[in-house]
Structures are given as structure tokens and as C-alpha cells.
């Protein structure tokens, strides 16, 4: 008998893969599943509950940087903005 982490989905029938929830609330995604969706160790995943089902999907995280006035001034200098252009850029950026 195969272990729960060794069972794989039959792509032609769409049968589910069975894994077991650990005591700590963890699961292991079988390698075949990880390869199918292109995720690797350390990749972020999104988990949601939809109509009573747990849905796990690859997630895209975007880094957001909040700029200080000094950093905006560096950008302005690098872009050679004049004073009016800098004021307009700050207005658009919410400063």
C-alpha cells in the first residue's frame, strides 16, 4: 500500500491526492504536485477557504517601498527634474 504522500493524481481521471494533516497542522505537498504548479521550497502560497474547501495556490508577493523625502530627492536628482516637475511628482506620490 502506498503512503499518503506517495499517492498522486491521475491526470486522466482527476482523482484527488490524499495527504495527512500532521499533529502540528502541517501537510506535505507531493513533489509531483509541486512540479505541476511550478512551486519550490520557500515559495509563498495563498490559502483560502472556498465553499467549505481548502484551496492552496501559488502566490505572487510584490515588494512595496515607502519613499522618504530624501529618497524622492535622490530620484529627482537622478532624473534631473526641475522644481515644478518635482512638486508634481510629489503630488502624484501623495507627499
The pLDDT tens digits for 36-84 are 999 999 999 999 999 999 999 999 888 888 888 888 888 777 777 777 8
Asked if residue 67 and residue 57 are part of one domain, the reply reads no
The reply to whether 67 and 32 lie within a common domain is no
CATH code: domain of residue 39: 2.10.260.10
Dihedral sign, CA of 31, 37, 43, 45?
Answer: negative
Look at the pTM and tell me if it is higher than 0.75.
Answer: no
Q: If we measure between CA atoms, which residue out of 93, 92, 87 comes closest to residue 66?
A: 93
**Which range of residues forms the domain containing residue 41?**
1-61
CA–CA separation, 7 and 68 (whole Å): 52
Alpha carbon distances (Å) from 83 to 46, 54, 58: 44, 53, 44
Say if residue 34 is in the same domain as residue 48: yes
Query: Which pLDDT score is estimated for 13?
Result: 52
Judge if 71 and 50 occupy the same domain: no
Are residues 25 and 57 located together in one domain of the fold? yes
| Residue 3, all three cell numbers | 503512503
Which distant-in-sequence residues (6+ apart) come within 8 Å of 60 by Cβ? 44
Amino acid at each position: 500500500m502506498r503512503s499518503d504522500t506517495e499517492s498522486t493524481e491521475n491526470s486522466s481521471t482527476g482523482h484527488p491526492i490524499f495527504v495527512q494533516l500532521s499533529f502540528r497542522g502541517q501537510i506535505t505537498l507531493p513533489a509531483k504536485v509541486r512540479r505541476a504548479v511550478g512551486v519550490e521550497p520557500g515559495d509563498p502560497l495563498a490559502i483560502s477557504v472556498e465553499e467549505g474547501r481548502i484551496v492552496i495556490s501559488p502566490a505572487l508577493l510584490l515588494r512595496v517601498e515607502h519613499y522618504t523625502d530624501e529618497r524622492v530627492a535622490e530620484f529627482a536628482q537622478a532624473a534631473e527634474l526641475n522644481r515644478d516637475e518635482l512638486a508634481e511628482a510629489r503630488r502624484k506620490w501623495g507627499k
